[in-house]
Structure 1
């Protein structure tokens, strides 16, 4: 490697950009004194990294920048660039070119460049370590350095030999290694303290984590048990609601039947009342006739004397009528008052109901407002939480930043105390190899992890899918079970009604049928399928035949019928022995009722000549075409013959029998389908659960595998992180530059300023947190008030709703009673009208006067015969009235029984509805609770064991709550903290191992460096001694010189020069003359160059103290050395100039500005020749 050229710009006197080429190995720089020749040497030292202005002949580093002259202004920056060729230093040996540059500005900013890329000063000094080049190396010998070289202390002279031996870089590395060891030991001490403290904290966190884990498990168990308890209650309430609904339906059916029966009785009673009224009127008329005739007889028999008695009798009758009138009037007045009272109660109740409805609406509005206020509070709380998190996070950030800044300031201060060069050369090959092997293993483990994760994800998806399917199937199973339960209840009710309609309540008949094997015989109604809409018409025609039992042959039961059972029954043969002429030829467009019925029985004998019409008008128009045996019936059950019409309204036990039988068959088929579906669903759910347990077991196994692989990967990752950190740390040690002291001080000042700002921000955040704490308490208080208001509003709304419902029921009762009283009042008014007429008749009779005549005896016989006839008529009329009154009494008894039973049924129904509503409300509350949770009541019920009940679950919850109370306060963050601190502890342990290994490597490196240093230094001293004994006699023409070590320790021993020119026996080198000292120094320099030649050697007027003879020897030595080393020397001596291949003249024609003039000696000689 050789120096090809130097580029200077703004450096000292070289203000203009100047390039100084060095085309050969012997270049001499010449020029008058003060023209700037030595500035070339200073430029090389400066660009090599010289940081002392004193060694550059200045007071400050900025003095190297051109400071102006008489005709030029100062410049802002100075730059020097050295160009090398035939470079052998890696990695620049590939191109063979190297350029190093330094640039300095007035503000003190110094920049370094290698091949145009910015670098550190240390990069340049490290680049030339061991080559003999450097700012203060033996390859650059400037003015005054010769005397300093000879008079140097042994330790200072040792530095030159170390550079020659190439161990300066080892020494530098040793120094950096010792610094790293000191830092490592400091780090180990701090790390030990942290590890001990962290171990104590981990023990505490481990206990807290176990408690927190136990607490979480108990909490999860408590949540699950409470959800299961709610599910048990929900299931019981659901069953209770369904059961009550079934009871309500059954009771409603019974009540409806009682009401229909009561209505039928009322209709019968109306006809009985009319008949009784007519009979009573007839009785009173006959009685009046009897009284008239009897009066006439008595008048005739008793004459005038008996007239008084007759008169008294009439008065007594009148009094009896008056009593009846008063009694009826009193009853009428009582009923009237009760009606008015009920009417007033109805009006009052209606007003009260309106008030309750308004109150309920107001309560509902209040509830909505309360819920809106609660929702507003929730939104405010969420907004407050976001605001409250900001100062907390900011405070945490500021604390972290403050701690980081303080720690960085402390570290920077320590760095200021240890402001030295760092270790540069560390072998990282083994670390990189280990890291690559670890990364390869990590890749394999990660692939296994990803494969296990994919398998786990697939299993998890399968588990979720199976759970969803199981839940859906359980819900469907529950729904179909509920349908089965509901349909079973409906079917039981219908079958009970059907059995009652089919007459299966006669024990004697049932026993006889059982004996005959007909107890399971099918009834005719069960064998018929009637077209929709024609059920009532078929029931009207078949009537009692619907109860007929279907048999194969009637003759099979001829013997049994010799002693028939008590009661009525019918048998229908499946074989048709009758022939029926077709009637369709008479009425080809008419439709028979038989066509509306589908059955496998021969029922033509029942429906043969019965036609159908869509309505009564059509039937009436068709009636004129009927024969004597034909008839027509409408869908409403109106049955017409040629001269008759049969209509039956109202309902009895046979009403709806066919439709009921069809519904029974339909429900039975539905139940059969549902039973099969329930069985299939049960089997499917059980299969799904078994499959789910198997998949969950497989998933757990895969999860264990994932956990193992994850732990292995985490361990490898931690190892990789540690090794990567070590590799990066080592690489950082190779590439890192230590900042200058001024930069560190500036950083410290900036950090201290940031600390003040951070503390201010931290105090502001803490103050804001204190302010937000008051707002939090206020919001919590508002939350409690909002919850309490919402609860009160909901309770008020429910109370108002229940009150409104109760009043509606009371109002319905009042209206029913009012209607009944209105009817009673009308009946009493009719009775009063009749009594008043009778009283008027009696009063008229009283007003008549008795006028006996002589013909009384003749008329007596006539009147007596007439009285006998009237008495018989009166007796029959009284019997008729008595029979009617007995029938009415029986009706009243039946009506009273039915009304009492209806009232009881209404009360039971109302109570059932209230209880059902209450349970439905409780169930709805549970539904709302489940909707807000992650549980499904149907799924929970399906997972519960059969023995699950509320009491056992409450006991389990109490046991879990007692365990939670025994645990007490728990640090729930301990689990995450323990995991985090465990990872931190593991990371610190790995750091401890890495630091210990690094320290051991550093100690090994120091021992290696020491061995290498001792060996090389001893070899260098011996080699320089041998060469010095050759070069010294050459320069002096004889004499001797040698190097001596000041101690036996090769690592610390200084070096002294012992020189004896020819003919002298001086005891010390300090007794030599200036020329002798210069020649001795040159001998030493040339001896070092013989051992370790630097790329170039620069000599600044070292021949000044020499005479011509010694200059000649000096020149010959330069000439000989230039064969191996590039020599650049500055000289005023013509003898020395003669050995140069090129002369570089430095002139200063312009005051203060240096310029270059170059001359090639060979070309000049050629021109002269």
Structure 2
């Protein structure tokens, strides 16, 4: 566009700005002449868009990566959700069909029972009438019999009383005599029992002391191992802290090296700049020695400078390579951390699924335990009311025993038939509880704990191979259940196989039972039990499995917490590496900038060297006072070199320190691994010691229980022995008194026999008549009972069917939200294998439980995320296409701009050389690209040597020479690309008459191409004008414009007046 910056408008005093401008600013005139300014603006905008596009691509790449990670996780969840929905829908469909089938069976059965009930009610009415009639006759006969029997009873009572008293007295005499013998034997037995129990007590006390000694030794070993474990854990914590500190210090040292490399590059730049400055000063000094000497020295200096730049570029490339390697290694570490994070996330998801499966199984087992599944309804009712004032109930055997998981099957087999036995602590209280026994609808087994005898068995089993121990050693129980458990399992041995059991049954006798870990039982020397256990199977193993699952659940929770901590540590490491990569990219950018600058300087030097070798200029001037400045630059270079050496020394020291830190870090890692191995071994040993301590405690509890029972038995025996003597004396006196009363009772007996015989004959006649009527009555009543029983069964069945109907309808409504009666209206009975349907329902429920926690929203979230991923992928593709188009556009702009600029530059160059010689009447001038390899960015140097001068730079030209040179360049541009007009504001002010004449000739030459508006005070310039305008102020405050137009020899004058 038109403006003061255009080459067609030259302001006052600005003609020589073309020469004073920098080499880069001169390009503006040439670009405008070539018509590529608009291309340059388009290229700048395209580069800006390209940069934004690349930034958007980077951001989109990060977003796409994150979306891909989220999508992988959601795909797993959505898959589970789809399976869950599919299983749930299929399960609901099967349950609805199955429920309708059951409802159909109930309806059909109820209708059949209603019809049968009506028939049986008619039969019951007929039977009831017969029974009433016959019952009245029997009643009359019964009253007669009862009157006769009343008399008989009075005399029989007298007879029986006499006989009874006689027999009682005789029995009492015999009983008292046997009582005396029994008391004597009892006294002897008590003495023997006291002696036996005293020996047993001494033996148990000895075993108790040995166990307590073992317990104390084991406790000391446990404390030692615990202390050793704590020490190892503290040492590992300290090692971990040292490793973390070393790693941080190592990363900091590496960052410090990057800073040193940056400072080293800066010092290289400073030294290079000083060297350049010194070379320039040396070049000016050498010029005083003559043209040839100066050229040779200048060429040598530039060659040296070129070598230094090349060395500097090599250093920068080396630094760039090192920085790039560091950046690649950090990126590799970030990728590895990203992979590790992905694995940890997968591990967390897998562990959570395992935890969900364990929790599902645990909840099922707990529910079974709470519902007492496996027990009869009677036992459930008794245990449900255990706390309702029945303190004598202790529960069942399965509640008192807790087996180790590995041996639960063996304990289950050994207690088969006893696991669901009811435990009571008071036999009398149980027998007196008639209300409890009346509620029983099935038989139950009861173990009376107050009737148990102390268990004693001193058989040494250590000498027999194949015995793993007494089975009681592998169960846990409360001390109050010790006699019960020892009574049930004390003589049950755990062996490794059935062959071992059969071999040991001979030497150990039939009193022992043998059980294998698989649940096979061999007893009594000939009884073998194999296969699955009975209906109460699972009562003991279920509790063991619950404890095992609780332990597994705790371990899974700890594993999840551990993985979450690892994930958090990974995030911190990733953030730290990201910051380091950011710093490395900044350093690489700075180094690349220095590299580009260095390469630019090197290209400029190569151009200068080439130009100097072509021109071989000789400059002679009078500047000799540069030695001091040279010396100062040398000192500065020396100090900079010294600092550079110091930095390189620091760099070497830091590298050595990094190697030392790395070695220490590797050593600490090795120590850490060794310590971890030692810690694992200590934990194993600690677990073994704890198991031994647990076994000893159980043994001590058993011995204490046996010892207490033995002492109580000794006290009881001593009390019996003391009371026996008194009882013998009292018994002998009672025998004498009884014998005297027997003779009186025999006379009373004879009189009662006579009267009783007569009354019995009369009663027999009445009874025979009543029996005949009773036979008939019994027949009628049997018939009535059968009918009534059938009626009762039918009513009970109808009631049960009604309850089943209501329960099924309510359950289906609550669980499936379906009105069963409404759905039954459209039901049609078909032939379906309902057993297979039940199996499929159970299988679907198992599948749903194994799925664990399900996020049903994951399906919708996956669809949304996939749409977002597709949208982002489309954006990435669009951005890549835009990037390609922008790159192609930039390449096309560069190509067209380069072609146009080359053509225009060559035209301006030729025109400049021609016009310069025309304006100066000789001499030499040229325009040179500083970097011919980069035409679009290279600066433009102007060389001008008027005739008779050997000036090296245009700054040495006089004012008139500079103006003429600028005019030559300006009109060279005009000639290459004419402008419709040109404004020249006093461009001829610095010209003498000769040069002004040449200027006028050039203007006249271009009058055919452009219209010139010239502002001047030179008469010679005014003489070539077609129209002349002048401004004058003849009256104060009033300006006048005078115009003169020259047409041949005629002159026309116009005057205009305007108020200023």
TM over 0.5: no
TM-score computed with the length of structure 1 as normaliser: 0.33
Give 1 or 2: higher helix fraction.
2
